[in-house]
Chain A
């Protein structure tokens, strides 16, 4: 046993829990007791984290993982962590490679740049609607969620008018307190919806990513459903939280907000810095050793789970000096928010494009944008697997 267990409770909204941050100066890797009693590891150092993520001797398969917090126990026991066909995020090479290779051509830097004019149109339309709705508004509902949701729906070929159910189900899936039967229900509903959509694409192809995948003939309908599931959920839940939490961070840091709003040359790096500073992936990734592996002097035994605490890792002073502070002008590339190794985020160039367009568009449209509640009243997503704000009431 180890005295260390994982907490998700934060003392301050933008900083990782003090109990975890205080471990980093002591060592890069620590013994941690998982919720099922497993004695595994917690990584808090940058170079150790990169080493784990780049090492093929660590598996990403969910059935090999131990749950780091009690809230995830029930789901694991219900078999909720079984990998559906095509859900390649939780597969190892070479199985993973086959799916990823089919998709990488769709998410290149160049293709995402070509999408920018369309993303800008979508952002402006959301801002028009927000202005028309009148102040105050919940920025999550009017801006942070609709932009990535509209973009991923259009890219995949998922009808946006169907969003109510899959957005609701996604919320259930990322809720850490969810009951196992509710999670299974949400997963089943999204899969059934997407399976039906794949059938319709097969019968009547349209000009979108899912139709292209169907026509490629490489995947069966169950695999296509798993791929579509992964892209749809990952495509809107993540960037939506970055847009919401990032705006909250900027509104409480007026000097940084001014940089994002007024200096177009600072936007690209500013987005990297927000990704680093906010690190919305606050519960993992987790890997399990397939064989004994030595990482920075510690031997991780076969079968042991290793959780990487990315919010703490992305503030490691050996890589990011003065990393506790938000500074949009610091060199911020190299953060691990999108991961590292073969599972590094497939949609990262899309996420970057959405943020490079979204933040400045919002701040220029509403130069007087401010919180409509006091900062401590903003409800934080400590209870969700992707961190962020539940709501962000703003006025202008």
Chain B
């Protein structure tokens, strides 16, 4: 799994950082998504998919 993030559409709601804090954080200034590990370990893949569903702006996706 590879995570893609688009900070231009991110609205900083923080759902990803709330759902998988080991993988997602938010920038200090704009609060937009920061991907800590773009190739998450297998045991976190389900949680990452949940974060993608919860993201309100479609800023994160997985391929």
Contacts and interface: CB of A to CB of B under 8 A. Distances in A.
A156 B31 CA distance: 17
A102 B45 CA distance: 32
Contacts, number: 67
Interface residues of B, number: 23
B14 A108 contact: yes
B2 interface: no
B56 A104 contact: no
A54 interface: yes
A108 B58 CA distance: 18
B30 A109 contact: no
A105 B30 contact: yes
A344 B19 contact: no
B interface SS class: loop
Interface residues of A, number: 25
Nearest to B16: A109
Contact of B13 (A54, A101, A105, A344): A344
Interface string B40-56: 00000000001001101
A342 B17 contact: no
A349 B56 CA distance: 14
Interface string A248-280: 000000000000000000000000000000000
Contacts of B14: 107-109, 348-349
Given A109-B14, A109-B26, A333-B50, A104 B19 contact: no
B39 interface: no
Interface in A88-106: 100-101, 103-106
A358 interface: no
A108 B26 contact: yes
B12 A107 contact: yes
Contacts of B57: 54, 341-342, 344
A344 B30 contact: no
Interface in B15-33: 15, 17-19, 21, 25-32
Interface of B: 11-15, 17-19, 21, 25-32, 50, 53-54, 56-58
Interface of A: 53-54, 100-101, 103-110, 333-334, 338-342, 344-346, 348-349, 352
